Structure 1
Amino acid sequence: MDMLHFGGLAVLLALCAMASNMIYNHFYEMVEHHYGWQRTVRMRVVHTLGFEAFFMAIALPLTAWWLSISVVEALLLDVTFSIFFMIYAFCFNWVFDIARHRLAARVVADR
């Protein structure tokens, strides 16, 4: 498969991941607020796994169609990337939560 075709898929998946992230986080935070969930490590793991499932529901059929392969083959192709990005997403969101909490505390303290 030529790099332009595969590169087009990478760009498309990146755009889908960005849009999926915004949509998933919006609804996750609505539910989180409604039930009063705290952002513990356990809840961050649940958030990460939920997002990955949400994104894969979009990415796998798209990848299979784009590459003219089966969804199972697309899943096998995606497993390595998914594991890496789940760990990345978990760490990124955890650090983001800590930074946001500290910034909010600093803003409150400055008032």
Structure 2
Amino acid sequence: MRALWAYMYQWATVERLWLLDALAALGPGLLVLMADEHGAQARVPASVRITEVKGSNDPGRRIPGFLREVAGSPNRVLTMVHSVDEPADVVRELAICCPTRVGRPAAARRCL
């Protein structure tokens, strides 16, 4: 968790860090990798498109049908859904989540 959020943690209070550590320790997460059917022909990268449909982290600003609303995210901290916002973050986060698999052929398929 800390590796995924390293950049944002520089502004977090100690209490926020403790809360996020406690949430991460509650149980396992689920890593879902999806193939982009549009591939290189897409005008907008897949990471940007998924960011558009995940919805706001603020429950008061969520739109029905967006991922965080469907998942029942209760607040701004426990959002239930994380996705990368930029294409470069795909590589960085895959290396964090699957450190022994990155760089090998078909890394995404064998990560799970």
Q: Give the TM-score normalised by the residue count of structure 1.
A: 0.30
Structure with bigger RCO (C-alpha 8 Å, 6+ apart): 1
Q: Give the TM-score normalised by the residue count of structure 2.
A: 0.29
Give the greater-gyration-radius structure (CA).
1
Q: Which structure shows the bigger proportion of residues in helix conformation? A: 1
